[in-house]
């Protein structure tokens, strides 16, 4: 069998690389403007974004690298219609084509306007707009100004403050107020001012311009820096018709930089006039108070008691005498009451004295003692007589009496009384107990009496 020639067959890799090159060199696919609806969008913080763009008949995969996505002013959402610009290429590992998005705009609304509305909604949900506002100092000593050092804002503020209250110290903290890095510099200066902590008020602002020009003051990081500031913030961004997020979260909003300076400082001349007026009013009030006290002293000096002070004590002396008499009488009555109570208790004690009862019981004890002694004597005599009789009876029955009549008591060597012939043994020793001693005998013969 002939071997087939495989040289006409392409590998998958070769075909994919060929198609990818077709995509990459096609001038129409290098700059594509596409309109579609976002699908399968899953936000990946600080990373590349992967999603799809679709219409009612087709879908294309899309990727937006981190560097390009960081420039998008609004937050893409599922189902949002957008206008994108990018290039079409082939992803070799999967063999699928996709669009590499370089920029994105919402379809219908401007990107900045949409981003502004989204941020307003987000901050409203966080309750930022409902936070209590810090009170602006009425008499500041130092005011920090965050703005461009080359703009008209700082000049307007300095001119206004110099005219109204030249004793206030102004310190400029230069910041970019336009461009991609402006928001970061504004935040940096606000934090720096709070770290220094020696300022009474902060004014941030810039002149008017388009929404793109004013956009740094619509950034979320600027809004959070203003909210977090421990020092009150006056915002003056754009003209009277311009309203930024910074204006909404600041403690006070001014239509123009000049208005901000007027809100931050009092008119020194008016303050001095007011102080002079207060000084005059205080002087008049003080004189009036002193005159009132003089009138009171004059009235008191005409008082009869002050002219004759002894009258004051006369009443108290008389009252003291009356109280002393009442006290003496009260003490005397109380002493008599106590004496009577003691007398009554003494009589009760006498009536309830145990002396008679003790005498009665003493007599009874003596009588019982005599009766007991008599009974004991009689009992002893009776027992003694009975004992004598018993001793006499025992004596008459005593074996010694029997022995004295010539009888003897035979016992063996174990001191057992021998009562019958069975208790004797031939050649056995017998001890006879007689009245005056013991006689030892030897048994020669034993015979029994025949009583039959």
pLDDT digits (tens, 9 = 90+) for 235-279: 988 776 668 888 888 999 988 888 898 999 988 888 888 888 888
Tell me: pLDDT of 56 over 90.
no
Q: How large is the angle between the packed helices 220-228 and 182-196, nearest 10 degrees?
A: 10
Tell me: pLDDT of 171 over 70.
yes
Structure tokens at 373: 């002694």
Place of tokens 């502004």: 116
Contacts of 406-412 with C-beta under 8 Å, sequence gap 24+, read: 408/432, 408/433, 408/434, 408/439, 409/433
Tell me: pLDDT of 173 over 90.
yes
Query: For the segment 73-84, what is each residue's pLDDT rounded down to a tens digit?
Result: 888 887 788 889
What backbone torsions phi and psi does residue 376 show, to the nearest 5 degrees? -65, -40
pLDDT band per the 50, 70, 90 thresholds, residue 230: very high
How much is the average pLDDT of 204-223? 83
What is d(CA 177, CA 75) in angstroms, rounded to the nearest whole number?
23
How does DSSP assign 199-235, residue by residue? -SEEEEEE----TTTTGGGG-HHHHHHHHH-SS-EEE
Structure tokens at 101: 């998005």
pLDDT band per the 50, 70, 90 thresholds, residue 194: very high
pLDDT band per the 50, 70, 90 thresholds, residue 417: confident
Torsion angle defined by CA atoms of residues 396, 400, 402 and 405, in that order, rounded to the nearest 10 degrees: -110
Burial class (CB in 10 A: 0-12, 13-18, 19+), 246: buried
Query: For the segment 124-138, what is each residue's pLDDT rounded down to a tens digit?
Result: 888 888 889 999 988
| Percentage of the chain lying above the pLDDT 90 cut | 20
pLDDT band per the 50, 70, 90 thresholds, residue 305: low
What is d(CA 159, CA 173) in angstroms, rounded to the nearest whole number?
17
Contacts with 290 (C-beta within 8 Å, 6 or more apart), sequence order:
none
pLDDT on residue 430: 80
pLDDT on residue 142: 93
User: What's the mean per-residue pLDDT of the chain?
Assistant: 84
Structure tokens at 308: 């004759």
What is d(CA 228, CA 210) in angstroms, rounded to the nearest whole number?
27
In terms of pLDDT, which residue wins out, 419 or 139?
Answer: 139
How much is the average pLDDT of 200-211? 84
Yes or no: say if 166 and 218 are a contact pair by the CB < 8 Å rule: no
pLDDT on residue 203: 93
Cα separation of the two ends of the chain: 163
Tell me: pLDDT of 2 over 60.
no
Burial class (CB in 10 A: 0-12, 13-18, 19+), 223: buried
Letter string b/e over residues 424-445, b meaning 16 or more CB atoms within 10 A of that residue's CB = eeeeeebbebeeeeeeeeeeee
Yes or no: say if 114 and 82 are a contact pair by the CB < 8 Å rule: no
- Please state, in angstroms and as integers, the Cα–Cα distance from residue 417 to each residue in 186, 397, 413, 421, following that order: 145, 18, 10, 12
- Pick the most confident of 26-40, 209-223, 313-327, 400-414: 26-40
Place of tokens 């994919």: 16
What backbone torsions phi and psi does residue 22 show, to the nearest 5 degrees? -60, -45
């Amino acid at each position: 069998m002939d071997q087939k020639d495989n040289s006409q067959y392409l590998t998958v890799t070769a075909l994919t690389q060929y198609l990818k090159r077709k995509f990459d060199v096609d001038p129409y696919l290098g700059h594509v403007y596409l309109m579609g609806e976002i699908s399968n969008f899953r936000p990946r913080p600080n990373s590349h974004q992967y999603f799809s763009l679709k219409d009612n008949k087709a879908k294309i995969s899309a990727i937006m690298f981190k560097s390009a996505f960081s420039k998008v002013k609004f937050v893409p959402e599922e189902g949002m219609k957008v206008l994108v610009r990018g290039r079409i290429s082939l992803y070799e590992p999967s063999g699928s084509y996709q669009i590499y998005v370089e920029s994105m705009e919402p379809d219908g609304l401007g990107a900045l306007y949409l981003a502004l509305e989204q941020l307003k909604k987000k901050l409203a949900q966080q309750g930022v707009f409902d936070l209590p506002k810090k009170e602006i100092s009425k008499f500041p000593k130092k005011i920090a100004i965050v703005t461009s050092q080359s703009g008209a804002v700082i000049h307007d503020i300095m001119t206004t403050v110099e005219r109204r209250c030249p004793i206030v110290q102004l310190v400029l903290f230069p910041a970019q107020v336009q461009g991609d890095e402006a928001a970061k510099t504004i935040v940096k200066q606000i934090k720096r001012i709070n770290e220094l902590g020696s300022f009474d008020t902060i004014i941030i602002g810039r002149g008017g311009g388009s929404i793109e020009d004013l956009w740094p003051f619509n950034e979320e990081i600027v809004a959070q820096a203003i909210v977090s500031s421990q020092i009150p913030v006056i915002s003056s961004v754009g003209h009277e018709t311009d309203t930024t997020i910074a204006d909404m979260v600041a403690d006070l909003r001014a239509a123009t930089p000049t208005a901000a300076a007027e809100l931050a400082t009092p008119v020194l001349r008016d303050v001095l006039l007011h102080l002079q007026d207060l000084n005059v009013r205080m002087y008049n009030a003080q004189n009036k108070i002193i005159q009132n006290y003089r009138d009171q002293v004059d009235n008191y000096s005409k008082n009869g008691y002050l002219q004759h002070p002894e009258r004051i004590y006369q009443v108290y002396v008389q009252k003291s005498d009356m109280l002393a008499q009442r006290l003496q009488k009260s003490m005397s009555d109380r002493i008599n009451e106590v004496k009577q109570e003691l007398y009554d208790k003494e009589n009760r004690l006498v009536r309830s004295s145990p002396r008679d009862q003790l005498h009665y019981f003493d007599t009874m004890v003596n009588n019982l003692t005599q009766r007991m002694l008599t009974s004991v004597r009689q009992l002893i005599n009776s027992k003694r007589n009975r004992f004598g009789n018993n001793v006499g009876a025992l004596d008459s029955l005593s074996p010694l009496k029997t022995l004295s009549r010539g009888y003897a008591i035979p016992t063996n060597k174990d001191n057992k009384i021998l009562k019958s012939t069975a208790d004797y043994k031939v050649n056995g020793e017998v001890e006879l107990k007689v009245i005056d001693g013991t006689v030892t005998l030897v048994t020669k013969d034993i015979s029994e009496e025949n009583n039959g």
